[in-house]
Amino acid sequence: MNTSALSTSLVRCVARGPVLYLTLADTPRRNVLTGAVLAQLAAHFAEIRQTSDIRAVVLEAEGAVFSAGHDLREVQKSTPEGCSALFEACSKMMLAIRALPVPVIASVRGLATAAGCQLVAACDLAVASETARFQTPGGLIGLFCSTPAVPLVRAIGRKRAMEMLLLAEPIDAPTAAAWGLINRVVPEDQVDQEVERLLASILRLSPEALARGKLAFYQQAEVGEREAYRIASRAMATDAATPDASEGIRAFLEKRQPIWPERHSS
């Protein structure tokens, strides 16, 4: 994957082995999600879908704020049509995270607010420092956080999501973990170490099974129980007929580590 062609001053892109690290780097503006940043993230995700080199993505940020959400100056200056296009681009980028065939881990330090909180909620996993905070304060400025509510309610449930939306108060990292918004809370200097620990576990899995499993997971999570079982059963039947399953079962029975078949770019 040609990361140098995609790296910019706003979003840095570095591949370390099979892991792609995307870093929000607009610290003077608190890593706001401008139209330009959204387009860059979308381009990275589109590139990932075209390569077999990347097995996981880590989304992180520089500075004291993970992301302050949308750039309010950009929103203020936009026409109604421009605002609609901006929010649609943001929604498409969030959905692109779910559609990726690899897991995306948010590595959070500092404040994640509004669409920044939405970005954390949209990721598959999230690790946060003990000092991280999460907030959806749009109602305070007359711009209710309706789009951040979409992944938020799916992560933490209706009552807790409405508490965040209606009170507009930040919640701390332990609360976010207890509610299910994030997976781990660790001291500031151990965030990277904990992310690497999660990555080590993920990289043991069959990449093909993981890609199909992630797709099936989000599909079944959006439907009723009966349809969910239909989706999950079909996914497992498909998996059972793959070379990865054959190798994985054989390795388990032979008490050895599996050697996954080589992947090929689509």
Domains of the chain plus CATH, in order, are 11-202 (3.90.226.10), 207-253 (1.10.12)
Average pLDDT over the chain reads: 94
**20-to-48, 102, 155, 214 alpha-carbon distances in Å:** 9, 10, 24, 18
The pLDDT score that the predictor gives to residue 264 is 56
What's the mean pLDDT in 135-139?
Answer: 96
- 8 contacts 40 by C-beta, under 8 angstroms: yes
Structure tokens at 201: 């576990």
Closest CA to 249 of 234, 260, 238: 260
The pLDDT score that the predictor gives to residue 266 is 46
Closest CA to 99 of 127, 124, 67, 126: 124
**168-to-77, 143, 146, 149 alpha-carbon distances in Å:** 24, 11, 13, 12
What's the mean pLDDT in 147-172?
Answer: 97
Would the pLDDT of 245 be above 70? yes
The pLDDT score that the predictor gives to residue 260 is 87
- 248 contacts 194 by C-beta, under 8 angstroms: no
pTM of the model: 0.93
Distance (Å, rounded) from C-alpha 177 to C-alpha 218? 20
The pLDDT score that the predictor gives to residue 10 is 93
Instruction: Find the helix packing angle between 80-99 and 115-122, rounded to 10°.
Output: 20
The pLDDT score that the predictor gives to residue 1 is 63
The pLDDT score that the predictor gives to residue 6 is 61
Phi, psi of 95, rounded to the nearest 5 degrees: -65, -30
- 239 contacts 22 by C-beta, under 8 angstroms: no
Q: How confident is the model at residue 181 (pLDDT cuts 50, 70, 90)?
A: very high
H/E segment holding residue 194: helix 191-202
Encode pLDDT of 205-240 as tens digits: 999 999 999 999 999 999 999 999 999 999 999 998
The pLDDT score that the predictor gives to residue 5 is 54
What's the mean pLDDT in 85-108?
Answer: 97
Would the pLDDT of 263 be above 90? no
Closest CA to 210 of 133, 136, 149, 125: 125
**Sequence-ordered alpha helix ranges (H) in 79-148:** 80-99, 115-122
Would the pLDDT of 8 be above 80? no
